[in-house]
Every structure is written in C-alpha cells, then in structure tokens.
Amino acid sequence: MTPKNEQDLARMVAEADGPLRIMGGGTRPIGRATGAALSLAGMAGITLYEPGALTLVAKAGTPLAEVQARLAAENQRLAFEPMDHRALLGTSGEPTIGGMVAANVSGPRRITVGACRDFMLGVRFVDGAGNIIKNGGRVMKNVTGYDLVKLLCGSYGTLGVLTEVSLKVLPDVQTQATLVLDGLDDATAVAALAAAMSSPFEVTGAAHDPAAGRTMLRLEGFAASVAYRAQALAGVVAPFGSATVLDDKAASAALWAAIRDVTAFAGQQGCVWRLSVKASDAPALVAKAGARAVVYDWAGGLVWLLADGDLRTRLGDFKGHATLIRGQAHVPVFQPESAPVAALSAGLRAKFDPRGIFNPGMIG
C-alpha cells in the first residue's frame, strides 16, 4: 500500500483487515514488525521552510537527503546529526524524515544539543482507528496540551503513522576541528571526555574508538573561536595526554561521520547492540559485555557493541537500555521495561492502536 495523501492513508488504515508494517525508506529495519507493507513514499515534499524562523515542515516520506540539501543551501542543518544506518545494517534505499523521527535517530552532537525528539515541533499522524491527529505545531515554544510529539518520536510506528513532521533547525557552522588523544584505556578515555564536557568550551562530539586507540573531541563554530577553544580544551585534557588538533574541516567531518554511522562495524558479521547508560558506568559494563568490538560516543553515554547472544544477561542489573540493532540473539530487541512502565506503554498502544495493527511485534 502506498497512500498518496493523508485522507487516503486514513481510509486504508480504517479499512485494514490485518497488521500493517509501516515503511519509510526501509533503511532502518530495527525490530521485528510483521504485516502488509504500508509505504509513505507517496507522501513526500517540504511543505514549509522559513530559515529566519529556524523552522522546517515536511511530509513523512520526504527523503532526508532532500531536506539536508535544502537546509545546506541556506547554511542550516539538522543539529542532532541523524545517523545513516545503511552501512551498519547493510540496507539500501533513501532514509526518510518520517523514518528518522519514528526511530528518534540522532548522532554524536546529541550529547550537547539534544536528540531528534528535542528538535521536534509538531507532528501529524493517523492513529489505528484511522483518525487524522495533529499535535504541537511549527513554533519553537509550545506547551499547549500534552506533548504527543515526543511520544510519537521514537515510537517506531506503534502508535500511529506519521504523515508530516515539523522541526527546529539550526545554523550550520563555519568550521570544525577535532582534538585527538592517543592510546588511552577505556576508563581513562571516558574520564578525559567527562573533563572536556565539563569545560565551558562547547564540545559537540566526544567519542572513543578503542580499536583505533583514539579519543576524540569535536569543536565547531567560527574559525577564530574554534582555534581559541582548541587550545583551551587541550589544556583541560592535558592531564590525560597530549592532544593533537585536526583542524582540517573535511577531515574532521569525515571522522565524525564514521563515528555517527558506526562504520567500524560495517561488513563485520554478528549482532550489533546499542547501549545507552550513564557515561561513567560504561567502561565497567563494557568489561562484562564480551564484545568483539566497541565504539563509545556521547562521552561514553552511548556504546556500540559487536556482541553475540544475550548481552543484557551478561551486563547484569544495569541502569539504562540496550537495543539489538542488528542480528538475532533470541532476546527482545528493545530493553524490557519495569512492570508499571510496561503497563503504561501497553495501555497507550491499546488506546492509539486498539486493533494492534501497527508494526505488531515491534516493541513489547
């Protein structure tokens, strides 16, 4: 099914007699949804872009590349830096803005500026009964009624089919540079990243790649400011090692694109886990994980692990969540929730999708 507009979609959902598997670009097959494919490819296009108001509205099926090109022409960007899953998951096709929102996809800059959900201003969606619903809007401050925008963002299509999303965008930067520390062990690296994040120098990327032996800190902005902060930040992390500064904009950007897309794991066989924890907990958890490869992002708050089998059991009782992004480990894809939270989540899914037809089997 490929509806052409919202009314089309609402009718198809209302008349559906079985489960629907909701598809954006099909580049992020995370979770195990079953059902007839429902593609949003027929509902695409940027409907509003006001650079002076930092606002963009697009239909859900709009290719992300189209949005990014349009923003780049005005020297703006999606500041949360959505990851491209294609290399890691071995998928092809074009990521869509709706898919990005449904999976709340962010990147390294998330640690400083927030996640996709933090940039969401509004949504339109069709619920499981075929009702067309709007929430939020196109303005940056809005507390009018409940924030269903955040509830829908990251719901993996289980509450409704997104038809249009409205986002806050930000100015792009003049340049960027990366400070690199070599040869730190994981615990020292995470401590160095924490020290950098606690400085006033506005670090917008904080990653550690143990295989490459590199600990990286990104600075962005006007050239003079980046140069000043690079020097100051090198002083902050001096107790952990001597930092070299990569001040070539393209080379620095390439480094962070590789962290964002976890290209270190691309082409390697096995399960891929995405672990979100308190950063300072990460090294000890990784020591228990039995992983073949690890990449730390978000100063250690996000850990990518190439690890087969039931990672959660090996980690024991930890605070955070582990999501199985790729592979089959015979365990739930999403972190099991506590009983009261699971009851609320199940209750919400039953309200928004009473027949349970949206992406059944995906979450919970």
Q: By CB under 8 A, what part of segment 141-180 binds other proteins?
A: 141-151, 153-155, 158-159, 170-174
One residue of 206, 277, 285, 289 binding other proteins per CB under 8 A: 277
One residue of 280, 284, 308, 327 binding other proteins per CB under 8 A: 280
Q: Is 253 in the site for other proteins (CB under 8 A)?
A: no
Q: Is 11 in the site for other proteins (CB under 8 A)?
A: no
Binding mask 284-323 for other proteins (x = CB under 8 A): --------------x--xx----------------xxxxx
Q: How far apart are CA 268 and CA 266, in angstroms?
A: 6
Binding mask 199-218 for other proteins (x = CB under 8 A): xx------------------
Q: How far apart are CA 145 and CA 340, in angstroms?
A: 24
Query: What's the min distance (Å) between Cβ of 343 and other proteins?
Result: 9
Q: Is 188 in the site for other proteins (CB under 8 A)?
A: no
Q: DSSP assignment of 106-121, as one string?
A: --TTHHHH--GGGGEE
3-state secondary structure 234-280: HHHCHHHCCCEEECCHHHHHHHHHHHHCCHHHCCCCCCEEEEEECHH
Residue 119: other Cβ atoms inside 10 A: 24
> What residue has token string 């196109």?
138
Which alpha helices (H) appear in 145-248, and where do they start and end? 148-152, 186-197, 223-236
Query: What's the min distance (Å) between Cβ of 354 and other proteins?
Result: 10
Q: How far apart are CA 239 and CA 243, in angstroms?
A: 10
Alpha carbon distances (Å) from 173 to 94, 108, 217, 250 = 25, 15, 16, 13
Binding footprint of other proteins, residue count (CB under 8 A): 88
Query: What's the min distance (Å) between Cβ of 256 and other proteins?
Result: 18
One residue of 194, 257, 266, 331 binding other proteins per CB under 8 A: 194
Query: What's the min distance (Å) between Cβ of 129 and other proteins?
Result: 9
Q: How far apart are CA 339 and CA 331, in angstroms?
A: 18
Cα three-residue angle 33-296-92, rounded to 5 degrees: 40
Which alpha helices (H) appear in 2-85, and where do they start and end? 6-15, 64-73
One residue of 47, 198, 244, 268 binding other proteins per CB under 8 A: 198
Q: Is 345 in the site for other proteins (CB under 8 A)?
A: yes
Query: What's the min distance (Å) between Cβ of 300 and other proteins?
Result: 9
Query: What's the min distance (Å) between Cβ of 92 and other proteins?
Result: 27
Q: Is 101 in the site for other proteins (CB under 8 A)?
A: no
Q: Is 137 in the site for other proteins (CB under 8 A)?
A: yes
Q: Is 111 in the site for other proteins (CB under 8 A)?
A: yes
Binding mask 47-66 for other proteins (x = CB under 8 A): ---xxxxxx-----------
CA-CA-CA-CA torsion sign (228, 302, 98, 354): negative
